[in-house]
């Protein structure tokens, strides 16, 4: 028996932060669960999520996602007071939180959200330890990407 899934649900990806790859050197990757309310899950299913400016802060031994926006649905949140840009608790192990805190405090890393996706029936957030890029680093990245594209074209036509 086959399950009928829409194309949006089959990929699993809810939201991407493409700006993070442009602005940061992404290094260590972590997967975190999120503590969400019911109306937020309904909005996420409809795709009303933006994590472009999202980052993670650590307060009192807890990781919090700040800067993400989950827009409420009008029919789902009539009886609930909804805060679209509230800080959402991330579910990480104590060891992972300690590693993130150490890298942030000692080595000056930022903790950036890069993707939100479905894993079975749970919403997961992909976060990275990131170092900020300077302007000349961004130019070098663009130059390297263009050179790889040209090299692919040349190799494709020479065969």
Identify the pLDDT of residue 100. Answer: 92
Q: 63-81 burial, b if ≥16 CB within 10 A, otherwise e?
A: bbbebbbbbbbeebbeeee
Identify the pLDDT of residue 6. Answer: 47
- Structural domain boundaries enclosing 17: 13-134
Classify residue 37: in a domain, yes or no: yes
The pLDDT of 79-107, averaged and rounded, is 89
The pLDDT of 74-86, averaged and rounded, is 74
pLDDT score of 142 more than 90:
no
Q: Which residue has the higher pLDDT, 6 or 133?
A: 133
Q: How many whole angstroms separate alpha carbon 51 and alpha carbon 113?
A: 7
Residue whose C-alpha is closest to residue 22's, from 118, 155, 130:
130
Classify residue 83: in a domain, yes or no: yes
Tally the domains of the chain.
Answer: 1
Question: What predicted TM-score, i.e. pTM, was given to this entire model?
Answer: 0.74
The tokens describing 111, both together, are 């903790």
Identify the pLDDT of residue 76. Answer: 60
Q: Tell me how crowded residue 94 is: count the other CB atoms within 10 A of its CB.
A: 8
- The runs of H, that is alpha helices, within 59-124 are 94-107
Classify residue 67: in a domain, yes or no: yes
Q: What sign does the dihedral 131-57-77-5 (CA atoms) show? A: positive
Classify residue 147: in a domain, yes or no: no
Classify residue 45: in a domain, yes or no: yes
Identify the pLDDT of residue 9. Answer: 46
Classify residue 150: in a domain, yes or no: no
Q: Residue 101: pLDDT band by 50, 70, 90 thresholds?
A: very high
Say if residues 90 and 65 touch (Cβ distance below 8 Å).
yes
The tokens describing 88, both together, are 């959402």
Identify the pLDDT of residue 77. Answer: 53
Identify the pLDDT of residue 82. Answer: 78
Question: What CATH number corresponds to the domain at position 85?
Answer: 2.40.280.10
Say if residues 56 and 114 touch (Cβ distance below 8 Å).
no
The pLDDT of 115-127, averaged and rounded, is 93
Identify the pLDDT of residue 95. Answer: 94
Average pLDDT along the chain: 86
Classify residue 75: in a domain, yes or no: yes
Q: How many whole angstroms separate alpha carbon 30 and alpha carbon 96?
A: 8
List Cα–Cα distances, 16 to 26, 66, 85, 93, 103, in angstroms: 14, 15, 17, 24, 24
Q: Residue 78: pLDDT band by 50, 70, 90 thresholds?
A: low
Identify the pLDDT of residue 67. Answer: 92
Classify residue 42: in a domain, yes or no: yes
């Amino acid at each position: 028996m086959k399950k009928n899934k829409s194309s949006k649900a089959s990929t699993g990806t809810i939201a991407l932060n493409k700006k993070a790859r442009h602005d940061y050197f992404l290094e260590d990757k972590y997967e975190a669960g999120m503590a969400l309310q019911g109306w937020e899950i309904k909005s996420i299913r409809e795709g009303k999520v933006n994590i472009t400016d999202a980052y993670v802060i650590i307060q009192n031994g807890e990781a919090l996602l700040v800067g993400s926006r989950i827009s409420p649905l009008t029919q789902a949140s009539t009886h609930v007071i909804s805060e679209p840009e509230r800080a959402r608790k991330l579910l990480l192990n104590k060891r992972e939180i300690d590693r993130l805190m150490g890298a942030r405090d000692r080595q000056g890393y930022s903790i950036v959200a890069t993707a939100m996706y479905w894993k079975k029936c749970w919403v997961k957030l992909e976060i990275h330890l990131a170092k900020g890029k300077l302007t000349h680093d961004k130019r070098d990245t663009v130059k390297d990407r263009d050179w790889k594209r040209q090299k692919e074209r040349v190799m494709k036509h020479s065969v």
